[in-house]
Each structure stands twice: as C-alpha cells, then as structure tokens.
C-alpha cells in the first residue's frame, strides 16, 4: 500500500469557511495517496483496512503556509529592530544578503534556516532567496530534501541597492533568471520557482517588463512587496511617475495577478485604487503582522481585504519578523487587528481566533493549491500538537485547547508529528 | 563563607541608566551576602578568595520584575481572547476566581502557577490573589517556598461583581483583610503583603476609605488597576461623580502614592490631570503591553511617562496577557511603542531595546528596592541565558546577542541559571 495512504486519529480541527472551526474529537482523517478522503467519527467500511496512527488525545490541525519569508535573512533574525524599512535594508539586509555570493556560505547559512523551518509548523512557504544563482540552487536543493513544499525565488534587482547585490542591468538580470529557470527545471520535486522582483524601487522598468515576458513564457507565479512603508510608497511614485498606485507598477508589467498567480507582502498602506486593483486581479496578500510592528510600518487593514474578497494568508517575513513560528504569526495577526480596531477604525472588527487560524491554514494554503484544510480532496498537510506541557486545572474543549496552543506554543507546546502532502516528515 | 557570597563570570549586561546598556564581556560579578559589590574585568585583590562560577560564553543579566500578575487567572491563560475588559471579567475571570473559595483547588492551581513562575525569567513579582484568605495563604506559602521575592495581595471587592466573589460589605472586607494581615505577619520571609483593591468599580467608598486607614496603620504598599479601558473609565466617573479623574478616586482615599508605595496597572487612557497626579504622587506604572493588546484596550503612552519622570515597570498581567515570559513582555513593549508612534503620535519615539530591557529590570525592580541592576549595592537577582540554540553564521556582539535573545527566548532560549537576592534557585 502507498505510504501516503493511512488514517490519523485524534482531536481534529480545521476550517472550511473563514469564520468557523470544524472540530471532531477522536475523529479519523482518511488520507489516500496524500489526499484527504474526509474526516469521520468512525472509520467508513471501505477504509477499514488502512493503517491507523492513533494520536490519542493530541490535536491534529492542518499544516501552515508561510506566504512570505526571506531565507537569507535568517542569520540576523531578532537583530537591528530599531530601524524603519529603508534604513534597515541598507544597514542589515543588504550586507548580509551580499554574503550569499559565496555558495559555501550559503550552504552553511541555509542549512540552519532549512533545519529550523522543517521543525516548525510551516509545511508550505513562499521563499525569497538572493540574486545569486549558485546560492539559490543550494537553497532549493536543501528545501527539496526537507520535504517541505515551497516556492523559491531568485531575487531580481538592478538599481537602488548596494553594488554587491545589483544585477548589472536588466538584460543581465533577465538572462541570469532564464539560466536559473533552465538549470533548475524539474530538478527539485518539492520546490517550484517563483518570479521575485525584490520590490519596485530596486527594479528598472526594463527589468520588470522582461520579467513580465518570462512570466508569460513559463506561466510562473510572482511574489514581491507592496505598500509596506510610507517612504517606500513615495519613492515608487517618484520612480514611476506615470503609475496610479504602487500596485499599478507591477500590473503595468504583467506581474500583478490575472494569469500570473501573485502574492504581495504587506499591503499596509494600500490606497483605495490599489485595493480595487488587488481585488480585480486576484492578488494574494501576505499579511506579516510582526514585521509590520518591528519595522514600524503600521497595521494592514486585513478585515477590509477579507470583506472585499481579496485572498489573504499570513507571512512571518523573516527577518522583518523575528519568529519562524506560524502560531506566533496567528497571535500577532489577532493582536494587531485589535489595535487597528481600537486606534484606527472602530468599524473594523478584530480577527477572531478562527479567522486568523483560517488565514494561516486554508487562506494561505490556497496559494499552493488545495492545501490547508482536511476537506475531501485537499492535500494532507497535518500537524500533531501536544499541549500536555500547558498544565491547567480547567477542563477544556478542543476548540479552547487550540486557542491556548496558539498563544503558548513557543513556551509550552510540542510538535508531535508533521505531514506534508501525506508524507510524514517529523 | 555565606552561600550568598560568590562571583559569577560570563558576558554581563545590565543597565545603569534608562537608555544605555553596560556590557562587560567575560566580566566578574561580585556578590557579597546577596548584594552586588560591582562588576569587574578582573577579580579585585580583596575578592580573590571568593568561589567563582564560570558561565563561560553565556550571558548574565539582572532578574526581571513582573509588576502585575494575577495568579488565579493562570488556568485560563491564552483563552477567551475575543472580549474586552468588562465582558472578559464576567465571562472568564470571575467564574474562575470563584473556585479559589476551595483551598484544595487553590493548592492545585497555584502549584502550577508557582512552578512555572519559578522556571521563568521573573525573580520578583507583584501578585494579585483572590478575596479568599485560605487560598491566599496557600499562594503565599507556595511562593515563599519558591524562593522568588514577591508581594501578594488578598483582593478586595464589595460591589459590582458576581456574588461568589463579593465581600459582604466594607466592614466585612476590612475585617477579613486585617485578619489576613495578622495571620500572615512574619510567616513568609520571601513574601510581603500588599493592599489590593481590585479596581475602583468593585470597591465602595467605605471600603477604599478603610483600606486607606489600613495602609497608614501598617505602612503597606498598594496595587490596583487604572484607566485600562474606556468603558471602565466612564463607569468610574459614574460611580464617583465627584472625582476629577479615575486616579483621583484612589488618591482621595490615600491609596495613590505619597507615603503609600503604589503600583497601578495599565494607565492606557490616563487624562492629563491623572498623569499629573501620578507624577506628583510617585505612582509606579505597570505597563502591560500584551494584555492591552489582547483585551483591545489600546497602547499606554510609555514614552510620555518616562519623559515625565514617572516610574515605569513591565507586567505580564497574566491572564490578560497569555505569556509569563518577561522577555516576551519586553518585545511586546517595544512593539506597541512602535505602533503608538506610527498610529497615534509621531512625536512619541519608540522604545529602544535598551529602554525596554531597563523597564523589565531596573525600572520595575525599583518597586522592590535596589533590584534589577548589578551596580554596587543592588541585590543580586541574576539570569544566566544560554543562546546556543539560536544558531547563526554571524558573529555577534554581546549587546546583539541580548537583543536576539529577547526576540527568540521562547523558541530557542534556555535559562541556564537563576539567582534571587544572591540565592541560586535554578
């Protein structure tokens, strides 16, 4: 029998819709060749021969998708947190990313990132590398071996950055990107390439235009940054004076949704026009609450995006965010939504636990396909959560145990099992 | 030789002033009968016979003071986070606190709280119990045995709360409080009593007046809540229509600084008049950033309090806050100060890492005496931090290792040693 065909038993929680948790205590999750055949209170007759792994009283929840994470920034996580975006990039980010010109350095640094990511709650991730092809290949190889499912992007930037990270010109950048795509094609079953213009300020129009052509040629997805910081937005307006909004720059070059599946990180200060564009283009928002705190960017209006029907997931934005934990990311998303309600707009209801959990699982998972739920037909990414270290005198419902786990995961939680697309990796 | 006379060696960090970290790599902290004799690059001649504990490359920092923590709320930490203060009190807090009428329940529940607190970075704490004398004695006994240094308050409330937590009337409440003070006097060397009117809305004028008299009689310190939530503030104004501000209620009854050493939790929405009163009275602010997020209260203007010279420390406000970790509390204080700057007042500079670290150590420590620093004459509360789980390819300064530790403590840190007033407890 296929090793990805089995049943998991435990207290199962997942979301089908944004605002409701589906809970089945002592339920059976049926996985057939990596795909869910549903969750049942008793094993249906036709599945009774499948092997059952009984996790007893532990919680079983969908794996989480980190929609925005910079692998090369992992070595300086939790450092230099007293700066805003543009100063932080020049002081901390660009010098560190420059070191990845050396594949041996990349080998060592990415090893730590990959090992820690593998042990985390993340099963899928959209990952930024650097401009360097050899280092990006190292990252792809390591991530492939980790058995996580990821998108990895070789970064493009041909202006407004330190010399050591600037691609010579648009032509060289595009040639290099094509080379990277050719050389890695089909080599890493668990890793797919994603076009990654760093952000509009470091990309010439010619580069963005060429990337749009590559997108159409290869049918690639796209990731970048959007409207994170006020100075950044003003800068984009100066660099692309014809643009109606920051997002319009990407759109103009065919890198903003539509045929190009696109995820944009942050969207903290998007104008009405930009929000409309995001909505019409089906662009995903990677909401990165902790990074938006750390870099003093602000709070993204996530409630509005949800109300508009814009797809939203969560991102750690390592190392704008310091923590790899998607549990922490969920808690931060709830927290900033409360402060947004209190300080900015009392018409904007805070995110409930259920909603934030949805964003981390099914919300962000959608970028990867049918991922982030246990409904029939979904790929089985699953986490087994052991909350026995969270001692209490209270009897708790499974729903409440999940809420508590999110808040206390780093201090008292333990990941007791991890499955990606039906494969047990922890 | 006294067991509290020794030398600790390691990478020592502490603050003397609010905005500067003192770092001595491979320094020697000399502790004589629990009191610091200073930090030196080499052991001075006169101390050369003292035993040295060499922590090699680990960090040694002052112990942390949690200025506001509710012990009986520990069983529901991380739960019910979708409510504002007054609803949260009625739905979660009061039902749980009612269970402490049973000393056997208190024994079990406080055991978990005390054990977890002992393992945390907290060396000193100002703790709320409940209204119950037997349960409060249980807590004092357990905390005394933990060798942490704490203030514990039997709570007073004689109106506007569930029947099971209401003291019959002011007279009964005061009699009960006197009884508690008499019965526990001198019994618990590590625990001191603190007057604890829950907050103005649940205390009649007669009760507050009587507590003021008790304060003068026994020279006791005071802890309570102040201006946490807008509905709460309006309610206080209705209940005490003569008051010029919420703080004026406590002041009127002699429970607001001056001779009465006082700590007030939150101070999120204090009026100008109240801030002036706090300043003139020398009232300590227990800044509880995570609780203020979780209960959608808002963000306290800590920069202003510091500029005014008001003493400030940090509090977890367990279980308004879900995390016992003072490292997390520091990071949350930095985070909300950035959002305050971004969203409320661009004249209010965010807290630096150094400032927030100061608040958690020397800032809050001042409420307990000469505590929270390694300067000569300070009681030696010390934490030994092992950051070897925070793998990186970067060489970091000790200052940067401390910053990173604060951000990553729960995921990757390890407390390798803990000293309270010169006594090694971990």
The 10s digit of each residue's pLDDT in A23-58 is 999 999 999 999 999 999 999 999 999 999 999 999
A68: nearest Cα among A261, A269, A257, A291: A291
Rounded to the nearest 5°, which phi and psi values hold at B5? -120, 115
> And the tokens for A60?
């079983």
First CA to last CA distance, chain B: 21
Å between A3 CA and nearest CA of chain B: 32
* Cis peptide bond upstream of A319, omega within 30: yes
Average pLDDT over residues A284-303: 98
pLDDT in tens, A375-411: 999 999 999 999 999 999 999 999 999 999 999 999 9
Q: Measured between alpha carbons, how far is B365 from B361 in angstroms, rounded to an integer?
A: 6
- What are the backbone dihedrals phi and psi of residue B342, each rounded to the nearest 5 degrees, phi first? -70, -40
Residues 6+ apart with CB under 8 A from B108: A393
Could you tell me how many residues make up chain A?
Answer: 426
To the question of pTM greater than 0.80 for the whole model, the response is yes
- 3-state SS assignment for residue A411: helix
User: Which is it for strands B382-386 and B52-62: parallel, antiparallel or unpaired?
Assistant: antiparallel
Spans of chain B below 50 pLDDT: none
- Would an 8 Å CB–CB cutoff place B210 in contact with chain A? no
Pairing label, strands A6-17, A20-32: antiparallel
DSSP H or E segment with residue A420 = strand A414-420
Residue B23: its H or E element: strand B20-32
Cα–Cα distance measured from residue B361 to residue B378, given in angstroms and rounded to the nearest whole number: 12
Q: What's the longest Cα–Cα distance across chain A?
A: 65
Tell me the CA distances in angstroms from B421 to A409, B35, B124, B368, one per residue in order: 31, 7, 10, 11
B175: Cβ contacts below 8 Å, ≥ 6 apart: none
Interchain contact A172–B (C-beta under 8 A): no
Predicted ipTM of the assembly: 0.98
Helix (H, G, I), strand (E, B) or coil at A58: strand
Instruction: For residue A314, give the 3-state DSSP assignment.
Output: strand
User: Does residue A3 surpass a pLDDT of 90?
Assistant: no
For residue B369, give Cα distances in angstroms to B354, B362, B365: 21, 10, 7
Location of structure tokens 């019959």: B168
**With contacts defined as CB-CB under 8 Å, which chain B residues touch A410?**
410-411
> B182 CB contacts (<8 Å, ≥6 apart)?
none
**What's the distance, CA A262 to chain centroid?**
12
* Chain A residue at shortest CA distance from B353: A82
3-state secondary structure of B7: strand
Distances (CA, A) of A404 to A401, B289, B291, B320, B322: 5, 19, 15, 13, 8
The Cα B206–Cα B171 span in angstroms is 8
Residue found under tokens 């409360």: A338
Residue A82: predicted pLDDT: 85
Q: Which two tokens stand for residue A126?
A: 């959209």
B152: β partners? B127, B193
* Contact indicator for B350, B338 with CB cutoff of 8 Å: yes
Among A144, A274, A312, A285, residue whose Cα is nearest residue A225 = A285
CA B124 – CA B399 distance, rounded (Å)? 24
- Dihedral of alpha carbons A345, B347, B359, A85, sign: positive
Task: Lay out the sheet containing B122-128: strands in order across.
Answer: B64-70, B122-128, B149-153, B191-193
Question: Are the C-beta atoms of A287 and A359 separated by less than 8 Å?
Answer: yes
Cα–Cα distance, A236 to A274 (Å, whole number): 13
Contact B338 A293 (CB under 8 A): yes
Question: What is the chain A residue with the closest CA to B400?
Answer: A79
Distances (CA, A) of A299 to A321, A332, B348: 14, 11, 18
- Does position A2 have pLDDT exceeding 80, yes or no? no
DSSP assignment string, B196-255: EE--GGGS-HHHHHHHHHHHHHHT--EEEEES--HHHHHHHHHHSTT-SSHHHHHHHTT-
Whole-number Å distance between alpha carbons of B255 and B216? 10
* Interacting residues of B312 by C-beta distance below 8 A, sequence separation 6+: B284, B285, B287, B302, B305, B306, B359, B363, B364
Closest residue to B296, CB basis, from A79, A80, A350: A350
What was the pLDDT predicted at A414?
98
pLDDT number for residue A1 = 64
Distance between CA B129 and CA B120 in Å, rounded? 19
**Distances in whole angstroms, Cα of residue B312 to Cα of each of B262, B300, B309, B402:** 11, 11, 9, 21
Q: Count Cα atoms within 13 angstroms, Cβ side, for B263.
A: 31
Instruction: Tell me the per-residue pLDDT of A325-371, one tens digit each, with 9 for 90 and over.
Output: 999 999 999 999 999 999 999 999 999 999 999 999 999 999 999 99
Other residues' Cβ atoms within 10 Å of the Cβ of residue A75: 21
Residue pairs spanning A and B at CB distance below 8 A = 139
Residue B305's nearest CA partner among B277, B346, B343 is: B277
Q: Which residues of B327-357 are buried (b: 16+ CB within 10 A; e: fewer)?
A: bbbbbbbbbbbbbbbbbeeeebebbbbbbbb
CB contact under 8 Å between B403 and A78, yes or no, is yes
Query: Residue B314: CA atoms inside 13 Å, Cβ hemisphere, count?
Result: 33
A window 330-369, beta carbon within 8 A of B: 331, 334-336, 338-339, 341-344, 350, 352-353
What is the structure's pLDDT at B105?
98
Strand, coil or helix: B318: strand
Across the interface, whether the CB atoms of B342 and A298 are under 8 A apart is answered: yes
Q: Mark yes or no for CB contact B394/A76 under 8 Å.
A: yes
Mutation pick from B268, B323, B330, B411 vs chain A, by most beta carbons of A within 10 Å, is B411
> For testing the chain A interface, which of B294, B393, B398, B402 should be mutated: the one with the most A CBs within 10 Å?
B393
DSSP per-residue codes, B261-299 = -EEEEE-SS--HHHHHHHHHHTPEEEE-HHHHHHTT---
Determine, for residues B343 and A109 on separate chains, whether the beta-carbon distance falls below 8 Å.
no
Pairing of strands B284-287, B262-266: parallel
Does B297 sit within 8 Å of A323, measured CB to CB? no
Q: For residue B149, what are the β-bridge partners?
A: B124
CA–CA distance, B211 with B178 (Å, rounded to integer): 10
Mean pLDDT to the nearest integer, A134-155:
98
Query: Could you tell me which chain B residue has the CA closest to the CA of A95?
Result: B394
Sheet strands side by side (includes B382-386): B35-40, B20-32, B6-17, B52-62, B382-386, B414-420, B423-424
Inter-chain residue contact B78 with A299, CB threshold 8 Å: no
CB A217 within 8 A of CB A171: no
A163, burial (CB in 10 Å: exposed 0-12, middle 13-18, buried 19+): exposed
- Residue A351 DSSP label: P
- DSSP H helix total and E strand total for chain B: 15, 17
Peptide bond into A51 cis (omega under 30): no
């Amino acid at each position: 029998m296929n090793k990805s065909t089995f049943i998991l038993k435990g207290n199962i929680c997942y979301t089908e819709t944004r605002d409701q948790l589906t809970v089945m205590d002592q339920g059976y999750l049926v996985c057939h060749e990596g795909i869910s055949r549903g969750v049942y209170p008793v094993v249906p007759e036709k599945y009774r021969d499948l092997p059952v792994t009984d996790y007893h009283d532990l919680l079983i929840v969908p794996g989480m998708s980190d929609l925005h994470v910079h692998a090369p920034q992992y070595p300086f996580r939790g450092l230099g947190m007293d700066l805003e975006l543009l100063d932080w990039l020049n002081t901390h980010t660009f010098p560190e990313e420059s070191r990845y010109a050396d594949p041996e350095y990349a080998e060592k640094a990415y090893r730590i990132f990959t090992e820690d990511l593998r042990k985390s709650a993340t099963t899928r991730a959209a990952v930024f590398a650097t401009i360097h092809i050899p280092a990006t290949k190292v990252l792809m190889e390591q991530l492939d071996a980790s058995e996580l499912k990821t998108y990895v992007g070789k970064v493009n930037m041909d202006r407004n950055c330190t010399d050591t990270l600037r691609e010579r010109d648009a032509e060289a950048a595009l040639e290099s990107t094509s080379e990277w795509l050719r050389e890695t094609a089909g080599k890493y079953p668990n890793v797919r390439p994603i076009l990654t213009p760093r952000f509009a300020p470091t990309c010439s129009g010619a580069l963005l235009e060429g990337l749009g052509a590559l997108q159409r040629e290869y049918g690639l997805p796209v990731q970048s940054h959007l409207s994170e910081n006020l100075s950044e937005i003003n800068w984009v307006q100066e660099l692309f004076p014809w643009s109606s909004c920051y997002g319009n720059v990407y759109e103009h070059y065919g890198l903003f949704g539509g045929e190009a599946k696109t995820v944009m990180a942050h969207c903290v200060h998007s104008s009405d026009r930009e929000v409309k564009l995001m909505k019409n283009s089906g662009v995903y928002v990677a909401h990165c609450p902790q990074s938006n705190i750390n870099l003093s960017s602000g709070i993204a209006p996530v409630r509005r995006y949800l109300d508009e029907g814009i797809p939203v997931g969560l991102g750690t934005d390592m190392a704008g965010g310091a923590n790899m934990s998607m549990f922490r990311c969920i808690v931060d998303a709830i927290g900033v939504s409360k402060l947004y309600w209190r300080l900015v707009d009392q018409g904007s209801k805070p995110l409930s636990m259920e909603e934030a959990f949805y964003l981390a699982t099914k919300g962000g998972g959608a970028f990867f396909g049918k991922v982030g739920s246990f409904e029939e037909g979904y790929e089985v990414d699953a986490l087994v959560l052991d909350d026995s270290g969270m001692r209490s005198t209270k009897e708790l419902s499974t729903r409440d145990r999940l809420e508590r786990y999110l808040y206390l995961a780093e201090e008292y939680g333990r990941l007791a099992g991890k499955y990606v697309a039906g494969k047990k990796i922890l």
